[in-house]
Structure 1
Amino acid sequence: MMEPGTLACTAAGGLIVHVEAERCRIAPEDLRSLIFSGRPAPVTRERVRRTGSIVTSSVTIEGHAAVNHAGRAVVFRLRVGSWIVPLVSLQRVARGEAASAPLFPLIEVEFYE
């Protein structure tokens, strides 16, 4: 069973998405685009590797966040699963009115004909 996750605001105005022991981010400009125009936003993760004295860093896209068809929730589709949060909760976190908001696991059912 998938675990719930959390959203938190960054100092720069973006979002931290914490799910399944992974911390991902949504950049501030992508977050504004998601909230105000409903455009999907990439969810990225930065990995830092240290081998001896050499430090390498890479940023990968782990999934995306998009407003659902009804316009009342945001769905996060990541490599490790899908989560949903009410749009109002995401907006409150983005504005700094709330410190965090819960992400709820989204269980998708496949229909067969």
Structure 2
Amino acid sequence: LVRSYVMTHLAALGYTAFPASSAAQAMAMVYDGFEFDLLFTDVIMPGSMNGPQLASELRRHRPNLRVLFTSGFADTTAFPAGQHGTDLLVKPYRRAELARMLRLVLDARVAAPAH
């Protein structure tokens, strides 16, 4: 239901979005060369991988990947504060907040990570 809600808002804002039902499906899309501009993921996800872990794995293949995290929990210790190209949208949020954060992350300059 949450994914459907977000997809509706993204479409209403004029974005083309491609949902993934799991971290594994998102990773498969990247490994298959699927092109997209931003990863929008929850910090806490079902399964063995959380959102920051997913972002970290995907950045191994796309170092400049922009990421927008979302979370409804006050404890966001899993969120990689200060990591390039990332930001946090706290739930619950309105469409206007989603639109603002998407533009903020998409428009930000992203430097390649230091090795």
Taking structure 2 as the reference length, the TM-score comes to 0.32
Q: Which has the higher Rg, Structure 1 or Structure 2?
A: 1
Task: Looking at secondary structure, tell me which structure has more helix per residue.
Answer: 2
- Higher RCO (Cα < 8 Å, 6 or more apart): 1
